[in-house]
Structure 1
Protein backbone atom coordinates (compact mmCIF):
# COMPACT_ATOMS: atom_id res chain seq x y z
CA UNK A 1 0.00 0.00 0.00
CA UNK A 2 1.28 3.47 -0.89
CA UNK A 3 1.94 5.75 2.07
CA UNK A 4 -0.64 8.58 2.30
CA UNK A 5 2.00 11.24 1.64
CA UNK A 6 2.77 9.72 -1.78
CA UNK A 7 -0.83 9.62 -3.05
CA UNK A 8 -1.59 12.05 -5.84
CA UNK A 9 -4.45 14.19 -4.45
CA UNK A 10 -6.17 14.10 -7.85
CA UNK A 11 -6.27 10.29 -7.76
CA UNK A 12 -7.54 10.36 -4.19
CA UNK A 13 -10.28 12.81 -5.19
CA UNK A 14 -11.26 10.66 -8.18
CA UNK A 15 -11.47 7.49 -6.08
CA UNK A 16 -13.56 9.27 -3.46
CA UNK A 17 -15.81 10.69 -6.15
CA UNK A 18 -16.24 7.34 -7.92
CA UNK A 19 -16.99 5.46 -4.71
CA UNK A 20 -19.64 8.05 -3.91
CA UNK A 21 -21.04 7.80 -7.41
CA UNK A 22 -21.17 4.03 -7.43
CA UNK A 23 -22.67 4.05 -3.96
CA UNK A 24 -25.43 6.39 -5.16
CA UNK A 25 -27.52 3.33 -6.09
CA UNK A 26 -28.46 4.30 -9.63
CA UNK A 27 -25.05 4.40 -11.30
CA UNK A 28 -24.34 0.71 -10.77
CA UNK A 29 -27.86 -0.23 -11.84
CA UNK A 30 -27.47 1.76 -15.06
CA UNK A 31 -24.00 0.29 -15.68
CA UNK A 32 -25.41 -3.22 -15.27
CA UNK A 33 -28.42 -2.63 -17.53
CA UNK A 34 -26.39 -1.00 -20.30
CA UNK A 35 -23.75 -3.73 -20.10
CA UNK A 36 -26.50 -6.27 -20.74
CA UNK A 37 -28.67 -4.36 -23.25
CA UNK A 38 -25.86 -2.44 -25.03
CA UNK A 39 -27.93 0.56 -26.24
CA UNK A 40 -31.19 1.89 -24.80
CA UNK A 41 -33.44 4.86 -25.26
CA UNK A 42 -34.27 6.96 -22.20
CA UNK A 43 -37.76 5.48 -21.77
CA UNK A 44 -36.59 1.87 -22.10
CA UNK A 45 -33.80 2.52 -19.63
CA UNK A 46 -36.31 3.98 -17.16
CA UNK A 47 -38.54 0.92 -17.67
CA UNK A 48 -35.64 -1.44 -17.05
CA UNK A 49 -34.79 0.32 -13.79
CA UNK A 50 -38.40 0.57 -12.67
CA UNK A 51 -38.34 2.74 -9.56
CA UNK A 52 -36.28 5.76 -10.61
CA UNK A 53 -37.80 9.19 -11.17
CA UNK A 54 -37.27 10.93 -14.51
CA UNK A 55 -35.36 13.71 -12.74
CA UNK A 56 -33.01 11.30 -10.96
CA UNK A 57 -32.42 9.29 -14.14
CA UNK A 58 -31.61 12.47 -16.07
CA UNK A 59 -29.21 13.69 -13.35
CA UNK A 60 -27.47 10.33 -13.09
CA UNK A 61 -27.10 9.98 -16.86
CA UNK A 62 -25.67 13.51 -17.16
CA UNK A 63 -23.12 12.82 -14.45
CA UNK A 64 -22.17 9.50 -16.04
CA UNK A 65 -21.82 11.18 -19.43
CA UNK A 66 -19.63 13.92 -17.93
CA UNK A 67 -17.38 11.26 -16.37
CA UNK A 68 -17.09 9.48 -19.71
CA UNK A 69 -18.95 6.36 -18.55
CA UNK A 70 -21.71 6.56 -21.18
CA UNK A 71 -22.37 8.18 -24.51
CA UNK A 72 -25.57 9.99 -25.38
CA UNK A 73 -26.62 10.14 -29.00
CA UNK A 74 -29.42 12.48 -30.04
CA UNK A 75 -31.16 11.82 -33.36
CA UNK A 76 -32.77 14.80 -35.13
CA UNK A 77 -36.26 13.29 -35.41
CA UNK A 78 -39.69 14.14 -34.03
CA UNK A 79 -40.30 13.04 -31.36
CA UNK A 80 -36.69 13.27 -30.19
CA UNK A 81 -34.79 10.01 -30.04
CA UNK A 82 -31.94 9.76 -27.53
CA UNK A 83 -29.90 6.62 -26.97
CA UNK A 84 -27.43 5.76 -24.24
CA UNK A 85 -24.54 3.33 -24.42
CA UNK A 86 -21.65 2.38 -22.16
CA UNK A 87 -18.23 3.58 -23.14
CA UNK A 88 -15.19 1.37 -22.70
CA UNK A 89 -14.46 3.38 -19.54
CA UNK A 90 -17.96 2.67 -18.19
CA UNK A 91 -17.63 -1.01 -18.97
CA UNK A 92 -14.30 -1.24 -17.14
CA UNK A 93 -15.77 0.52 -14.08
CA UNK A 94 -18.59 -2.03 -14.00
CA UNK A 95 -16.03 -4.82 -14.31
CA UNK A 96 -13.95 -3.37 -11.47
CA UNK A 97 -16.93 -3.46 -9.13
CA UNK A 98 -17.85 -7.05 -10.07
CA UNK A 99 -15.42 -8.04 -7.34
CA UNK A 100 -17.95 -6.83 -4.78
CA UNK A 101 -20.50 -9.32 -6.17
CA UNK A 102 -17.93 -12.13 -5.98
CA UNK A 103 -17.05 -11.16 -2.41
CA UNK A 104 -20.75 -11.05 -1.45
CA UNK A 105 -21.39 -14.49 -2.94
CA UNK A 106 -18.37 -15.95 -1.13
CA UNK A 107 -19.15 -14.33 2.23
CA UNK A 108 -22.96 -14.22 2.39
CA UNK A 109 -23.29 -16.89 5.08
CA UNK A 110 -20.53 -15.34 7.22
CA UNK A 111 -22.16 -11.91 7.07
CA UNK A 112 -25.58 -13.43 7.87
CA UNK A 113 -24.12 -15.27 10.88
CA UNK A 114 -22.42 -12.12 12.11
CA UNK A 115 -25.60 -10.08 11.76
CA UNK A 116 -27.68 -12.67 13.58
CA UNK A 117 -25.15 -12.87 16.44
CA UNK A 118 -25.07 -9.07 16.70
CA UNK A 119 -28.88 -8.85 16.69
CA UNK A 120 -29.08 -11.49 19.47
CA UNK A 121 -26.52 -9.64 21.59
CA UNK A 122 -28.18 -6.25 21.17
CA UNK A 123 -31.63 -7.73 21.77
CA UNK A 124 -30.46 -9.43 25.00
CA UNK A 125 -28.70 -6.25 26.15
CA UNK A 126 -31.82 -4.14 25.72
CA UNK A 127 -34.01 -6.46 27.85
Structure 2
Protein backbone atom coordinates (compact mmCIF):
# COMPACT_ATOMS: atom_id res chain seq x y z
CA UNK A 1 0.00 0.00 0.00
CA UNK A 2 1.57 3.00 -1.19
CA UNK A 3 0.31 6.38 -0.24
CA UNK A 4 0.57 9.35 -2.44
CA UNK A 5 2.67 12.20 -1.10
CA UNK A 6 0.39 14.79 -2.70
CA UNK A 7 -2.70 13.59 -0.83
CA UNK A 8 -0.97 13.87 2.51
CA UNK A 9 0.47 17.35 1.80
CA UNK A 10 -2.82 18.82 0.59
CA UNK A 11 -4.59 18.08 3.90
CA UNK A 12 -1.90 19.81 5.95
CA UNK A 13 -1.48 22.75 3.57
CA UNK A 14 -4.89 24.27 4.28
CA UNK A 15 -5.08 26.27 7.53
CA UNK A 16 -8.30 27.27 9.30
CA UNK A 17 -8.20 31.07 9.71
CA UNK A 18 -11.72 31.46 11.17
CA UNK A 19 -10.51 31.78 14.81
CA UNK A 20 -7.95 34.38 13.72
CA UNK A 21 -10.66 36.44 11.98
CA UNK A 22 -12.91 36.16 15.07
CA UNK A 23 -10.15 37.49 17.34
CA UNK A 24 -9.43 40.36 14.96
CA UNK A 25 -13.11 41.34 14.80
CA UNK A 26 -13.39 41.33 18.60
CA UNK A 27 -10.29 43.54 18.88
CA UNK A 28 -11.70 45.88 16.24
CA UNK A 29 -14.95 46.25 18.19
CA UNK A 30 -13.08 46.88 21.45
CA UNK A 31 -10.95 49.61 19.88
CA UNK A 32 -13.97 51.21 18.22
CA UNK A 33 -15.81 51.38 21.55
CA UNK A 34 -12.84 52.62 23.61
CA UNK A 35 -11.57 55.25 21.14
CA UNK A 36 -14.25 57.89 21.97
CA UNK A 37 -13.58 57.43 25.69
CA UNK A 38 -9.93 58.33 25.25
CA UNK A 39 -10.70 61.65 23.58
CA UNK A 40 -12.87 62.99 26.45
CA UNK A 41 -11.32 65.52 28.82
CA UNK A 42 -11.53 65.35 32.58
CA UNK A 43 -12.41 68.54 34.46
CA UNK A 44 -10.19 68.81 37.52
CA UNK A 45 -9.72 71.68 39.93
CA UNK A 46 -6.10 71.60 40.98
CA UNK A 47 -5.01 73.19 44.25
CA UNK A 48 -3.34 76.57 44.01
CA UNK A 49 0.07 77.26 45.50
CA UNK A 50 -0.04 79.55 48.53
CA UNK A 51 2.77 82.10 48.62
CA UNK A 52 5.30 81.09 51.27
CA UNK A 53 5.34 84.54 52.85
CA UNK A 54 1.84 84.05 54.33
CA UNK A 55 2.78 80.78 56.04
CA UNK A 56 5.97 82.10 57.59
CA UNK A 57 4.24 84.86 59.59
CA UNK A 58 3.81 83.52 63.10
CA UNK A 59 0.64 84.37 65.04
CA UNK A 60 0.71 86.61 68.08
CA UNK A 61 1.78 84.66 71.20
CA UNK A 62 0.47 85.72 74.63
CA UNK A 63 1.01 84.29 78.11
CA UNK A 64 -1.65 84.64 80.82
CA UNK A 65 -0.55 83.62 84.30
CA UNK A 66 -3.13 82.94 87.01
CA UNK A 67 -1.64 83.36 90.47
CA UNK A 68 -2.44 81.69 93.79
CA UNK A 69 -4.24 84.82 94.95
CA UNK A 70 -6.43 84.99 91.80
CA UNK A 71 -4.37 87.69 90.11
CA UNK A 72 -3.91 87.79 86.34
CA UNK A 73 -0.65 88.62 84.57
CA UNK A 74 -0.80 89.04 80.81
CA UNK A 75 2.72 88.91 79.37
CA UNK A 76 4.11 89.85 82.78
CA UNK A 77 1.80 92.83 83.48
CA UNK A 78 -0.57 92.66 86.42
CA UNK A 79 -4.16 93.26 85.21
CA UNK A 80 -7.70 92.96 86.51
CA UNK A 81 -10.17 90.57 84.91
CA UNK A 82 -11.86 93.33 82.89
CA UNK A 83 -8.49 94.66 81.69
CA UNK A 84 -7.51 91.15 80.60
CA UNK A 85 -10.72 90.92 78.58
CA UNK A 86 -10.04 94.27 76.90
CA UNK A 87 -6.47 93.31 76.01
CA UNK A 88 -7.62 89.95 74.62
CA UNK A 89 -10.27 91.66 72.49
CA UNK A 90 -7.63 94.03 71.09
CA UNK A 91 -5.32 91.10 70.36
CA UNK A 92 -8.11 89.16 68.60
CA UNK A 93 -8.84 92.15 66.38
CA UNK A 94 -5.18 92.75 65.52
CA UNK A 95 -4.42 89.05 64.82
CA UNK A 96 -7.29 86.54 64.46
CA UNK A 97 -4.79 83.68 64.74
CA UNK A 98 -3.51 84.86 68.14
CA UNK A 99 -2.49 82.13 70.58
CA UNK A 100 -3.10 82.45 74.32
CA UNK A 101 -1.20 80.19 76.71
CA UNK A 102 -2.87 80.10 80.12
CA UNK A 103 -0.52 79.06 82.92
CA UNK A 104 -2.01 78.43 86.34
CA UNK A 105 0.13 78.11 89.44
CA UNK A 106 -0.30 75.01 91.55
CA UNK A 107 -2.41 76.81 94.18
CA UNK A 108 -4.61 78.77 91.76
CA UNK A 109 -8.38 78.52 92.09
CA UNK A 110 -9.91 76.38 89.34
CA UNK A 111 -12.74 78.87 88.86
CA UNK A 112 -10.25 81.65 88.10
CA UNK A 113 -8.66 79.53 85.33
CA UNK A 114 -12.05 78.63 83.82
CA UNK A 115 -13.10 82.29 83.97
CA UNK A 116 -9.92 83.28 82.10
CA UNK A 117 -10.55 80.65 79.43
CA UNK A 118 -14.19 81.71 79.01
CA UNK A 119 -13.19 85.36 78.78
CA UNK A 120 -10.62 84.56 76.09
CA UNK A 121 -13.17 82.55 74.10
CA UNK A 122 -15.80 85.29 74.40
CA UNK A 123 -13.32 87.93 73.23
CA UNK A 124 -12.48 86.00 70.03
CA UNK A 125 -9.33 84.07 70.94
CA UNK A 126 -9.80 80.63 69.38
CA UNK A 127 -6.32 79.18 69.94
CA UNK A 128 -5.93 78.35 73.61
CA UNK A 129 -3.32 76.35 75.46
CA UNK A 130 -3.53 75.42 79.15
CA UNK A 131 -0.40 74.70 81.17
CA UNK A 132 -0.06 73.80 84.81
Normalization by structure 2: what TM-score?
A: 0.24
Bigger-Rg structure (1/2): 2
More strand by share: 2
More helix by share: 1
Normalization by structure 1: what TM-score?
A: 0.24
